[in-house]
Amino acid sequence: MHADAVQTGSLPRTTTGTVVARNDNRVIWLLLAAAFVAILNETTMGVAIPHLITDLHIDAVLAQWLTTAFMLTMAVVIPITGFLLQRLTTRSVFVTAMSLFTLGTLIAFLAPGFEVLLVARVVQASGTAIMMPLLMTTVMTIVPPHARGRMMGRISIVMALAPAIGPTLSGFILDNFSWRWIFGVVLPIAIAALVVGARWIHNIGTQSKARVDVLSIILSALGFGGLVYGLSQIGGGSSHGGSADAAAAASAMSTATLWVSLTVGVVSLVLFVWRQLLLQKRDDALLDLRVFRSGNFSLSVAHFAIISLAFFGTITVLPLFAQNAMGLGPLETGLIVLPGSLAMGLAGPVIGRIYDRWGPRVLLVPGSILVVALLWLFTSLNESTPVWELLVTQTLLSLGLAMSFTPLFTASLGSLEPRFYSHGSAIVSTVQQVAGAAGIAVMITIMNAGYVAGAATEYAAWAAGARGAFLFAAIVAIPTIVTAFFIRKPADSIGAPIAH
């Protein structure tokens, strides 16, 4: 067998015709609707944190756990989805994921206080973590290779529109209703998706009889969970107020937690990899690492990791810059982000068609150059930057990212044997989660350090910190210009060897 042709488990059915069957197409749209609801929930939640601090009478550290717990749960559950998607039917996985998400949303809507709301976030994340790998695996299984770019373009619409609508919807709800209605609006949509999906989704592919390796699950949870939690503690002790003693104590505690978490995470991850290498010899791995025998998959995932690190860090710092350095309100900040998200979604189908016809390089090369150039432009922003300039820059950055995400998703998973899509999808989602957490942690820390360095005014101090964070993202993104030239389009045939 060629080095890039990886086999394991049972072979799922893959459509080789020119069109997707009506029933299969309906499955994809139902999965897209479910993914939209999950992403919408997360983007509406981010804006609500300041209101929750006031309404629940908690401090910022406790409030941050509503985000940290969600990320931790995602990091723990996602690596397991590769195994779940092979062992369970498509319908049972969907019903489980949407039931967990719906239950979590209901608990959050009714939550009497912080503790119950935190539990609800964990339950929500358990369902959310399964949805994207399920969607990606299903698309790769039933969509013929020559049409995958267009289908991934549709997925990009969902992934872009939900973040575009979320902050604006959340701002409207928070201005007029209780924070509970952030979950109250999502709940009926989630229930509808669950009911319709349970009725119409049918099984895609066949199931394997792989055994559950409890040790692998424990090591995966400690490894990925430890890494994400440790990264979330970077800069956790930073403070722009309060007593010096309190700040020093918080910093010491955060530093200790950071190193313990990262150490546990790294050691557990090494043991997890070792365990998978042993188990995959008999096709029993929880997360089969033979996907990395494909050079195209490995390079695409590396490129995707760098983009995710820079992207998630930037979209976290950008609203803080707009509000703290430019003095804009939450609604104005949301409107600045809106055109970029809409442009990313609307460009998705066009980018998908370009990929299907000419492959990834014609998109990745100019897209990577555009992203790096705009991140460098971000390093020149200051408190006097016109709003229109920030809006245009952010919109162009979104287009550059759109030119990267669709080709990377399609080229990476398309480089694998069909029976291996579930593991590949889980790895791509895990990389996105860990890289995103790292980008957010490092860039927030750099921004805080830049603020502490001081400036003439409060606005200038925040602007200086944000410029330092953007500089980090720009430098990190440079290697993507090189890797973009080497990522290729997999052969348009199922199971065909991939040439080096």
Q: What pLDDT score does 205 carry? A: 59
Cα distances (angstroms) measured from residue 372 to each of 196, 316, 336, 362, 368: 43, 17, 20, 16, 6
Q: What pLDDT score does 361 carry? A: 92
Q: Rounded CA gap, 45 and 54, in Å?
A: 15
Span 79-121, pLDDT tens digits? 888 778 877 788 888 899 999 999 999 999 999 988 999 999 9
Amino acid at 378: F
The phi and psi torsions of 306 (rounded to 5 degrees) equal -65, -45
Amino acid at 382: N
Residue by residue, what is the 3-state secondary structure of 417-470? Answer: CHHHHHHHHHHHHHHHHHHHHHHHHHHHHHHHHHHHCCCCCHHHHHHHHHHHHH
* DSSP-H helix ranges across 280-360: 295-320, 330-358
Q: What pLDDT score does 465 carry? A: 86
Determine the number of helices (DSSP H) and then strands (DSSP E) in the chain: 15, 0
Q: Rounded CA gap, 90 and 316, in Å?
A: 34
Q: What pLDDT score does 252 carry? A: 62
- Please, what sign has the CA dihedral across residues 457, 450, 311, 54? negative
Amino acid at 395: T
Unique residue bearing structure tokens 């950071």: 258
Nearest alpha carbon to residue 163 among 312, 352, 317, 364 = 312
Q: Rounded CA gap, 14 and 482, in Å?
A: 33
Cα distances (angstroms) measured from residue 265 to each of 5, 12, 99, 200: 31, 33, 30, 40
Q: Burial-class residue 289 by CB neighbours within 10 Å (0-12, 13-18, 19+).
A: middle
CB 70 within 8 A of CB 105: no
Q: What pLDDT score does 288 carry? A: 85
**Cα–chain center distance at 9:** 27
Q: Rounded CA gap, 293 and 309, in Å?
A: 24
Cα distances (angstroms) measured from residue 357 to each of 14, 75, 494: 21, 35, 17
Q: Rounded CA gap, 391 and 379, in Å?
A: 15
Averaged over successive runs of 10 residues, the pLDDT of the chain (500 residues) comes to 38 47 77 84 73 78 76 84 80 90 94 91 91 84 79 74 74 81 90 88 66 85 85 59 50 74 92 90 83 92 91 82 80 77 82 88 94 93 88 90 87 86 86 83 82 70 88 93 92 42
Structure tokens at 16: 């080789």
Q: What pLDDT score does 484 carry? A: 94
Based on its alpha-carbon atoms, the radius of gyration of the chain, rounded to whole angstroms, reads 22
Nearest alpha carbon to residue 467 among 437, 447, 439, 452 = 447
Q: Cβ atoms within 10 A of the Cβ of 1, count?
A: 9
Q: Name 439's Cβ contacts closer than 8 Å, sequence gap at least 6.
A: 308, 309, 310, 311, 312, 313, 314, 316, 473
Amino acid at 218: I
Q: What pLDDT score does 20 carry? A: 64
Nearest alpha carbon to residue 436 among 136, 220, 231 = 231
CB 400 within 8 A of CB 351: no
Tell me if residue 73 falls in helix, strand or coil: helix
